[in-house]
Structure 1
Amino acid sequence: MDELGSMLGVMSVREAVNIAAGRGLNLIEISPNASPPVCKIMDLGKYRYEKKKRIQENKKKQKVIEIKEIKLSPNIEDGDFSIKLKKAREFIEEGNKIKVSLQFKGREIMHKDVGFAVIKRFKEEVIDLVRVDSDHKLEGRQIIMILSPKQ
């Protein structure tokens, strides 16, 4: 192809380079794996600029899913719990995954049932908006659960 977009047909590399040099442009290989390889006669700086713009447009269109963390404790008060719940709903509506973790400190680990009750209560409050990726499980001194938005 030439700079105007018209097809020049199949030719040798030497002929194509001579045509490009005669017009003061470059011969750029567009798809080297094709048979025969596809080349274009155009300005190299303009080609790089257009390629960079295409990459930027593609980056704008894709949505990156982040994992947001909500930290709870076994003896959390109702007010604090509702604030964490509200924040979790915001994260879900934005399309992010949520990692809910409940950390046991000191001797709180003796009352695991209290921690599991808090996690289950949290899950019941947001179950209408989420899908459970990883159900609650005890890992060391914390309970972890991963939730993602429903499609």
Structure 2
Amino acid sequence: MSFEAFLSSVALCEGGDGGGLQIIYLFKKLLINNQIRSPRVRVIDEAGKQLGIIPLQEALQIAKGRNLDLMQVTERVEPPVCKLMDYGKYIYSEQKKARKEAQKQKSGQLKQIRISLGISPHDLEVKTIQAKKFLKRGDKVRIEMRLRGRERSFGQLAREKMSKFTEILKGSVAIKIERELKKEPRGLTMIISKE
């Protein structure tokens, strides 16, 4: 595979663990123009109209005349189906779709905020600012309150602190409770998201 063919079948995206570029394979290698080996092909034009089964050289001439590329869509049938299209535009649109999909996956992450029973008002404010930032980005937020030792006997006070936290958030961001306040062995948790 030539370097140009390799670049045409991948997308470069920023991010990842190392902060550099990630290479994401978009699709299997597609055969275009002179890479197609079948002597006869079934041709579909750019509007989706079938031109029929014609010799490969004639199909290449039609593509060249229309200033387009002949791209093999499927090879499972005999003769293979080829479509007239602008290969550069096709690659660009596929890369754009891949970036959108990557952003959708990235935006639905679950972030965690941990508060304690004896949290000070200022610390509570800092935690709400952080939660707002996560919610505005589209992330879900898991709010956790760890109860240690004798703190476990103050269950009602812990519930009040958690409800106060969500009330502060509701004042500035419309939130939806994904999972109600739940008692767990080490404390209380709930999951919220932006409405």
The alignment's TM-score, normalised by the length of structure 2, stands at 0.57
Query: Which amino acid in the other structure matches residue 130 of structure 1?
Result: I
**Partner Cα separation in structure 1 for residue 168 and residue 76 of structure 2:** 54
Give runs of aligned pairs for residues 1-151 of structure 1, distance below 5 A: 1=43, 9-11=51-53, 15-16=55-56, 18-19=57-58, 28-30=71-73, 38-40=81-83, 47=87, 51-61=90-100, 62-63=103-104, 64-128=107-171, 129-150=174-195
Report the Cα offset of residue 41 of structure 1: 6.4
Aligned-pair identity (%)? 24
What is aligned with 2:16? none
**Partner Cα separation in structure 2 for residue 21 and residue 31 of structure 1:** 17
**Partner Cα separation in structure 1 for residue 181 and residue 76 of structure 2:** 50
Report the Cα offset of residue 38 of structure 1: 3.4
1:106-142 Cα offsets, whole Å, 9 max, x none, are 3322222221111111111122421111111112112
Alignment CA distance shift 1:11-1:148 (3 Å): same
What are structure 1's unaligned runs of at least 5 residues? Answer: none
1:30-88 Cα offsets, whole Å, 9 max, x none, are 25799x9631368xxx94x6554333211333533222211111111111111111111
**Partner Cα separation in structure 2 for residue 87 and residue 132 of structure 1:** 17
**Partner Cα separation in structure 2 for residue 130 and residue 30 of structure 1:** 45
Equivalent pairs counted in the alignment come to 140
**Partner Cα separation in structure 2 for residue 11 and residue 147 of structure 1:** 57
Question: What is the root-mean-square deviation of aligned Cα atoms in Å?
Answer: 3.5
Instruction: Name the structure where strand makes up a greater proportion of residues.
Output: 2
**Partner Cα separation in structure 2 for residue 148 and residue 139 of structure 1:** 20
The alignment's TM-score, normalised by the length of structure 1, stands at 0.71
Alignment CA distance shift 1:92-1:80 (3 Å): same
**Partner Cα separation in structure 2 for residue 127 and residue 38 of structure 1:** 56
Report the Cα offset of residue 146 of structure 1: 0.8
Alignment CA distance shift 1:55-1:21 (3 Å): closer
